[in-house]
């Protein structure tokens, strides 16, 4: 599965090991037993999640390939119970058109101090907002290119680049840590952009582990109106 996110980003499932039956088998190994049929197996998954017996979910592992702006990656990399490998700005040149421009201006929200809300503005003001960001980004990229042309090392020239430049990384995460990520990043307190990636990751999770995802959604609905 490869899901586009934002104007130039994506999240793609590169590899996957395990699944709902792996959860069931690893949970029942305590009693030397395995799968017992769908109804009982689904009940077991509900029991495990509802009672915090989460280690069997660690036996299923997702490997995602993600392309997102640097400011989103910074938030993502705080999730220590997972593994990351990122493209290097020391060894590669940032392509000059790989940056994120929000299509709408968002403003500080009064109720939710961590969040933001879509600004109620005429279309041309949203466009002007985007142009202001594009202009600042292109000036920074021009400075980056000039530094490279003067022979500056890539690792040093990149420090003039803004946080909306796209980066790419591989992210391996077990289902337990993924559910922690989804609880935190599908929430309305999370920034709009990482929420879009988290919702896409949630759709992939749902596809690969539908029984677990259904229980997870009932316990932590997030913003809710998802369909399996």
The catalytic residues are 185
In 31-82, at which residue ranges do the beta strands (DSSP E only) sit? Answer: 61-69
Q: Residue 202, Cβ neighbours under 10 Å: how many?
A: 22
**67 or 195, CB closer to ligand FAD?**
195
Question: Which element (helix H / strand E) includes 173?
Answer: strand 166-174
By the rule CB under 6 A, 12 interacts with ligand FAD: no
CB nearer to ligand FAD: give 132 or 189: 189
Q: Give residues 92-151 in contact with ligand FAD (rule: CB under 6 A).
A: 114
Sole binder of ligand FAD in the list 190, 198, 209, 215 (CB under 6 A)? 190
Span from 8-16, 56-64, 77-85, 142-150 in contact with ligand FAD (CB under 6 A): 77-85
Give me the least distance between CB of 49 and ligand FAD, in Å please.
15
Residue 158: partners with Cβ closer than 8 Å, 6 or more residues away: 89, 90, 94, 144
C-alpha separations of 162 from 33, 91, 201 in Å: 54, 18, 25
Interface of this chain with ligand FAD, residues 163 to 182, rule: CB under 6 A: 177, 180
User: Are the CB atoms for 103 and 192 separated by under 8 Å?
Assistant: no
How many residues line the site for ligand FAD (CB under 6 A)?
A: 10
Tokens 């058109």 sit on residue: 97
Among 80, 111, 113, 227, binds ligand FAD (CB under 6 A): 80
Which has the closest alpha carbon to 92: 14, 157, 47? 157
Between 59 and 137, name the residue whose CB sits nearer to ligand FAD. Answer: 59
**Residue 183 interacts with ligand FAD (CB under 6 A): yes or no:** no
Cβ neighbours for 161, distance < 8 A, ≥ 6 positions apart = 89, 94, 140, 141, 144
Is residue 25 helix, strand or coil? helix
Q: Judged by CB under 6 A, which of 51, 78, 111, 227 binds ligand FAD? A: 78
Shortest distance in whole angstroms from residue 6 CB to ligand FAD: 18
Helix (H) or strand (E) holding 171: strand 166-174
Q: Is 161 in the site for ligand FAD (CB under 6 A)?
A: no
- Minimum CB distance to ligand FAD smaller for 51 or for 227: 51
**Contact footprint for ligand FAD (CB under 6 A):** 78-81, 114, 177, 180, 184, 189-190
């Amino acid at each position: 599965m490869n899901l586009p996110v934002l104007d130039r980003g994506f999240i793609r499932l590169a590899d996957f090991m395990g699944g709902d039956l792996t959860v069931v088998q690893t949970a029942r190994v305590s009693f030397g037993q395995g799968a017992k049929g769908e109804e009982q197996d689904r009940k077991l998954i509900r029991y495990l999640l509802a009672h915090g017996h989460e280690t069997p979910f660690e036996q299923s592992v997702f490997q995602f390939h993600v392309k997102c702006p640097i400011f989103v990656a910074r938030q993502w990399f705080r999730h220590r119970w997972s593994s990351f490998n990122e493209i290097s700005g020391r060894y590669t040149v940032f392509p000059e058109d790989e940056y994120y421009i929000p299509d709408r201006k968002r403003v500080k929200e009064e109720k939710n101090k961590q969040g933001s809300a879509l600004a109620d503005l005429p279309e041309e003001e949203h466009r002007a907002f985007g142009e202001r960001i594009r202009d600042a980004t292109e000036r920074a990229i021009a400075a980056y290119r000039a530094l490279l042309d003067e022979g500056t090392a890539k690792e040093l020239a990149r420090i003039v680049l803004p946080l909306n430049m796209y980066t790419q990384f591989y992210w391996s995460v077990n289902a337990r840590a993924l559910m922690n990520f989804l609880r935190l990043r599908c929430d309305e307190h999370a920034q709009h952009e990482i929420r879009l990636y988290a919702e896409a990751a949630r759709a992939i999770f749902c596809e690969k582990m539908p029984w677990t995802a259904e229980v997870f959604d009932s316990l932590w609905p997030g913003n809710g109106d998802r369909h399996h």
